[in-house]
Amino acid sequence: MEVRKGILRTPDERFADLPDFPFEPHYAEVSSALGPLRMHYLDEGPRDAPVVLMLHGEPTWSFLYRKLIGPITAAGYRAVAPDMIGFGRSDKPMRREDYGFDRFTGWIRELVQALDLDRIILVCQDWGGPIGLRVLSEMPERFAGVVTANTLLQNCEAPPRGVSPWPGETIANWMETCRTATDLPIGPVIAATFVTEPGPGVIAAYEAPFPDARYKAGPSQITCGIPVAEGDEGLEANRRAWTVLEGFEKPFLTAYSDSDPSTIAWETVFQTRVPGAKGQPHSRIAGAGHFLQEEQGEALAGVVLDFLERNRLRN
């Protein structure tokens, strides 16, 4: 439904009876050139506890983190999982040009400030990584640690400081698909990356935010905004973020899956360039493709909890 000109909001009934998703919605307002936008987020666990901030990528939404939320809150932490603008229950501008890498970063930064999140442990996957790490670089004092999972922070630098060639044929083809798609097939895109295909109820849940093509400008455009060449939007900001990360001595863990060739090369870059990664028990999770939270969510939850306790991030 259109809440004002050019802004869609997925009807609430699309989110009824999703599998293993009993969480109440929460909303915050973020700014936009189009006026204020409503951003949805999940918020579970004690409000005065350290915050595990979980950022999704494309074309998923906070449903992706449902298997982590229970174990994290049961251990006494607060779990916050937002939907990017254009995804999930969040507002969806209809025009591709209303999205950009800097805007996605700004919207998450605004949410962190609006909720006054502190003692944040960032858990990020896919494009949630470059967005979340950019936010961390702009307010590192709010962050206590990081777990990266099947993600990257593109910098167009040669190894060992970056990955070359990147994006590579697979990602380049995917970016071209996103650039030209008029109706991105959400369910098939997600299912194609899995080692073990999920049931139809799970695929339907990932498709729930997107009743038709008009709602898919965000998922279609977010990939197009990732900087892959000199002069691209966000590239210099990414390089500034790497400068911050090279001084980031707080705990930093990589937890990649064993079946995601599109991101695995970035595992070593993070391990060697971020001081806080030294001495951490970096994990390679078996039996999962790109969306390891879905296929091996319980295993990833265990890795995150071990990281929190091992590094005494409770206080």
pLDDT of residue 256: 98
Question: Which two tokens mark 136?
Answer: 């961390």
> Has residue 120 been placed in a domain?
yes
Report the C-alpha dihedral over residues 223, 228, 232, 234, rounded to 10 degrees. 70
pLDDT tens profile 120-171: 999 999 999 999 999 999 999 999 999 999 999 999 999 999 998 888 888 8
pLDDT of residue 172: 87
pLDDT of residue 54: 98
Among candidate residues 246, 80, 90, the one with its CA nearest the CA of residue 153: 246
Q: What is the CATH number of the domain that holds 70?
A: 3.40.50.1820
> Has residue 279 been placed in a domain?
yes
- Amino acid of residue 96: R
Tell me how far apart the 2 most distant CA atoms of the chain are, in Å: 52
> Has residue 176 been placed in a domain?
yes
The dihedral region occupied by 260, where left means phi > 0, alpha psi between -120 and 50, and beta the remainder, is: beta
What is the C-alpha separation between 214 and 270, in angstroms, rounded? 37
> Has residue 315 been placed in a domain?
no
Relative to beta strand 143-151, strand 120-126 is parallel
pLDDT of residue 167: 84
Give the count of beta carbons closer than 10 Å to the beta carbon of residue 73.
16
* Active-site residue flag, 26: no
> Of the residues 40, 43, 56, 290, which is catalytic?
290
> Of the residues 183, 232, 260, 306, which is catalytic?
260
Q: In Å, how far from its chain's centre is CA 218?
A: 13
Question: Which two tokens mark 193?
Answer: 């990356």
Host domain of residue 59: 2-310
pLDDT of residue 2: 85
> Has residue 292 been placed in a domain?
yes
Q: How many domains does one find in the chain?
A: 1
> Has residue 158 been placed in a domain?
yes
> Has residue 160 been placed in a domain?
yes
Q: Digits of tens for pLDDT over the chain (315 positions)?
A: 888 899 999 999 999 999 999 999 999 999 988 899 999 999 999 999 999 999 999 999 999 999 999 999 999 999 999 999 999 999 999 999 999 999 999 999 999 999 999 999 999 999 999 999 999 999 999 999 999 999 999 999 999 999 988 888 888 888 999 999 999 999 999 999 999 988 999 999 999 999 999 999 999 999 998 898 899 999 999 999 999 999 999 999 999 999 999 999 999 999 999 999 999 999 999 999 999 999 999 999 999 999 999 999 876
- Amino acid of residue 33: A
> Of the residues 56, 126, 232, 306, which is catalytic?
126
> Has residue 60 been placed in a domain?
yes
* Active-site residue flag, 290: yes
pLDDT of residue 169: 85
pLDDT of residue 315: 62
Q: CA-CA distances (angstroms) from residue 11 to 83, 130, 220, 246?
A: 15, 29, 20, 43
* Active-site residue flag, 126: yes
Question: Which two tokens mark 84?
Answer: 């990017």
Residue pointed to by tokens 């916050």: 80
pLDDT tens profile 172-191: 888 999 999 999 999 999 99
What is the C-alpha separation between 108 and 308, in angstroms, rounded? 23
